[in-house]
Amino acid sequence: GNSVTQMEGPVTLSEEAFLTINCTYTATGYPSLFWYVQYPGEGLQLLLKATKADDKGSNKGFEATYRKETTSFHLEKGSVQVSDSAVYFCALSDRKDDKIIFGKGTRLHILP
């Protein structure tokens, strides 16, 4: 079946550091890929998405590129801020399967 694997946290960085959170997936069909962010005490909200190979999703300085050859969708940001501290989830939806699969989440701490 489909699955999503993302790097375990917590990840602790200093403000203005470069961020990468790895996400790889397995899927039998042609999935869409998503990154969601969960701020403390809140529900998840979409950060960015990509619906086909080589698409790049971007939002709020974050980027991720859908790499079919490596089955990856790594999240990157060039200069993180304290306000980026949150839990980040990689997710997959596949038109051959109505279920939506989430990774386990990566907690990010940004130090001032």
Partner 1 sequence: EAQVTQNPRYLITVTGKKLTVTCSQNMNHEYMSWYRQDPGLGLRQIYYSMNVEVTDKGDVPEGYKVSRKEKRNFPLILESPSPNQTSLYFCASSPLLRTGGVYNEQFFGPGTRLTVL
Check binding of 40 to partner 1 (CB under 8 A): no
C-beta closer to partner 1: residue 69 or 95: 95
CB of 11 to partner 1, least distance (A): 15
CA–CA separation, 52 vs 38, rounded Å?
24
DSSP assignment, residue 71? T
How is the chain split among helix, strand and coil, in percent rounded to 5?
Answer: 5, 55, 40
- For Cα atoms 72, 74, 58, give the angle at the middle one, nearest 5 degrees: 115
Per-residue x/- track, 57-86, partner 1 (CB under 8 A): ------------------------------
* Of the residues 23, 62, 89, 110, which one makes contact with partner 1 according to CB under 8 A: 89
Integer Cα distance of 57 and 55 in angstroms: 7
Pick one of 50, 101, 108, 110: the residue that binds partner 1 (CB under 8 A): 101
- Interface residues with partner 1 (CB under 8 A) are 30, 32, 34, 36, 42-46, 49, 51, 89, 93, 95, 98-105
